[in-house]
Amino acid sequence: MKQKRLLVDWLVFIALTLAALFTLFPLLMALMNSFKTNGQLLTDVVGWPQSLNFDNYLRTWDKMHYLRSLGNNLYLAIISVTLIVLLSALAGWRLCRTKTKLSGFLFSLFVFSMLIPFSSIMIPLYRVVLVLKLKNSLFGLCLVYAGLGVSMAIFLYHGFVKGIPLELEEAAAIDGCTMRQTFFSIVMPMLSPITATIVITNALWIWNDFLLPLVVISKNDKYTLLLSTNTLFGQYSSDWTAILSALILAAVPVIIFYAIFQKRILEGIADGAVKG
Amino acid sequence: MKIRAKQNLSLLLCVLPALLVYGVFKLYPAVSGVYYAMTDWNGLSKTYSFVGLDNFAEVLTDGYYWQAMLFTLKYVLVMVVIANVIALMLAVAIESRRRAKGLFRTVFYMPNMISMVIGGYMWMFIFTRVLYFMSDNWGMTFLDQSWIGDPNYAFFAIIVVAAWGAIGYLMIIYMAALQGVSPQLKEAAYLDGANAWQTFWRVTFPMIGHALTICIFWTLNSAFQVFDVIYTLTGGGPGRATQSVALNIYEEAFQGNVRFGYATAKSTVLFAIVLVITIVQLRLMKGREQEL
């Protein structure tokens, strides 16, 4: 019995290890070949690089305007997520605390559209962007992300506020706190667990989003990392050493982010999915 | 009465900023889309005229659209089954271990952190270079296929890459659900003489119904909108053999024709289909969950 258990354990371990290798395979291949010369890539794709030469990286670093693209990504993620958190926390909190017909109506107005797929509103949305002269505007893109992101965030905040006792806010009101003070110094701190979840899920979504920037941004200097990488792919067509180094460069920021906040990210993902 | 009015006023003030961005960038596009779908607006000229249901009639007979729809349905079906089965298997396998749990979890979730655009191009390298090398030099001749160029293999390639990117997310949800199953229940089943297989299907599986509903809902929804993977891997080709509906709409609106009104009609039809299918799925699965 014990022996059988041990055997099963080993089989599970081997299966998991094989699956893990499969998962990492494309990343490893990309990383290894990004250090090779074109000649070595042609003769030996799966071998180790002969030396760590950063020539490919130096080439693509400039070509994809790495720092500028990275800056655009950071700008988009930080401003959009801040907007989503502030607007949704405020709205979700009041929607939960106010028990009127209007509040019920507004809440369902926010929630009902969560099922609408992005590709269904893409074209009318593009028209709104054109009319408001927001094409090629990074801040405009942040506003769009806020508009697309608030319903889910309001839904999550609304649910979380329900579980917080009302007494603290009442006490604050008796002590003469204005609504703004109550929101920023009493409510926001209590919301921080769900805020962490909302920040993580939205930051990852916006950071990795491709279709919306592809449609809204057409000027090189406003390109995100993904748009720059995509253009490079078109230019270099089959120069894989260049393309792979660009892919690695584009992936490195998220990998670092993942390495640092791994636990929080995984908790946040599970939390956001189950509550959503 | 007065208190209520005051409450509503402060509510409106707090909701207004969110409502504004939401109204302009989500609600209005969604509602006006239905109107544009009934015009011949082409995105370039300022004027357009109302054409009633003509666009919808054209969608019904648009061979490329339904070819893309059929492809998308096939993709959705395969993804829902494959991604969920593998994710659940991985979750169970990892949860059964005492050591290296965290390490495996970290590795399997890794692809989800990276955009599918990057993942798609990395896999493109595997499919167009690495596999040929393995076939030529390691004698693995079964790998010598036209992975991107042949429609059947291209479908397979797309599924591999999409599943690679989605499984980690599903696995995390299943793992959270598995951790919520009380050990006492499993203990009781064990004492009653159930083997591991029976314990899983009779005790554990019914207890994670909620996670199953979420995961299938998520896979359905995201698979119907699949764009990034196919855009980077095959671009919808060869020809239009691997074109998804989202790609078909994108092509109609932003490449070539610029027929915005018509493309909006296409996206409205997509929305209607997705809505019906997800509602049916939620009804069916929620009903089951409650029974247990």
According to the model, what pLDDT value does residue A142 have? 94
According to the model, what pLDDT value does residue B151 have? 82
Out of A40-44, A62-66, A225-229, which region has the weakest mean confidence (pLDDT)? A40-44
Confidence of residue A1 (pLDDT cuts 50, 70, 90): low
Confidence of residue A276 (pLDDT cuts 50, 70, 90): low
Contacts of B128 (CB under 8 A, 6+ apart): B147, B148
Spatial contact of B178 and B97, defined as CB atoms under 8 Å apart? no
The whole-number average pLDDT for the span A233-244 is: 80
One DSSP character per residue, chain A reads -HHHHHHHHHHHHHHHHHHHHHHHHHHHHHHHHTTS-HHHHHH-SSSPPSS---HHHHHHHHHTTHHHHHHHHHHHHHHHHHHHHHHHHHHHHHHHH--SHHHHHHHHHHHHGGGS-HHHHHHHHHHHHHHTT-TT-HHHHHHHHHHHHHHHHHHHHHHHHHTS-SHHHHHHHHTT--HHHIIIIIIHHHTHHHHHHHHHHHHHHHHH--HHHHHH--SGGG--HHHHHHHHHHHHTT-HHHHHHHHHHHHHHHHHHHHHHHHHHHHHHHHHHHH-
Helix (H) or strand (E) holding B171: helix B151-179
Nearest CA in chain B to A253: B114
HSE, side-chain direction, 13 A CA sphere, residue B231: 23
Domain map (residue ranges) of chain B = 62-291
Rounded Cα–Cα distance for residues B5 and A220 (Å) = 50
According to the model, what pLDDT value does residue B290 have? 53
According to the model, what pLDDT value does residue B229 have? 86
According to the model, what pLDDT value does residue B190 have? 80
According to the model, what pLDDT value does residue A23 have? 92
pLDDT, mean over chain A: 87
Burial B64-79 (b: 16+ CB within 10 A, else e): ebebbbebbeebbebb
Which stretches in chain B have pLDDT values below 50? Answer: 292
A95/B contact by beta carbon, under 8 A: yes
A171/B contact by beta carbon, under 8 A: no
What ipTM score was computed for the predicted complex, to two decimals? Answer: 0.86
Nearest CA in chain A to B245: A119
pLDDT in tens, A166-204: 888 888 888 888 888 888 888 899 999 899 989 988 998
Spatial contact of B225 and A118, defined as CB atoms under 8 Å apart? yes
Contact B116 A208 (CB under 8 A): yes
Out of A120-129, A261-270, B36-45, B282-291, which region has the weakest mean confidence (pLDDT)? B282-291
The whole-number average pLDDT for the span A45-66 is: 81
> Across the interface, which of B36, B130, B245 has its CB nearest the CB of A124?
B36
Q: Over 80: is that where the pLDDT of A249 sits?
A: yes
According to the model, what pLDDT value does residue B189 have? 81
Contacts of A25 (CB under 8 A, 6+ apart): B126
A210/B contact by beta carbon, under 8 A: yes
B120 phi/psi in degrees, rounded to 5? -60, -45
Contact A123 B253 (CB under 8 A): yes
Spatial contact of B236 and B154, defined as CB atoms under 8 Å apart? no
Contacts of B12 (CB under 8 A, 6+ apart): A102
According to the model, what pLDDT value does residue B82 have? 94
Nearest CA in chain B to A28: B122
SS3 of residue B127 by DSSP: helix
pLDDT in tens, B117-134: 889 889 988 888 877 777
According to the model, what pLDDT value does residue B289 have? 67
| Cβ-Cβ contacts under 8 Å, B250 against chain A | 119, 122, 211
Distances (CA, A) of B271 to A120, A215, A227: 6, 20, 27
CATH 1.10.3720.10 assigned to B62-291: yes
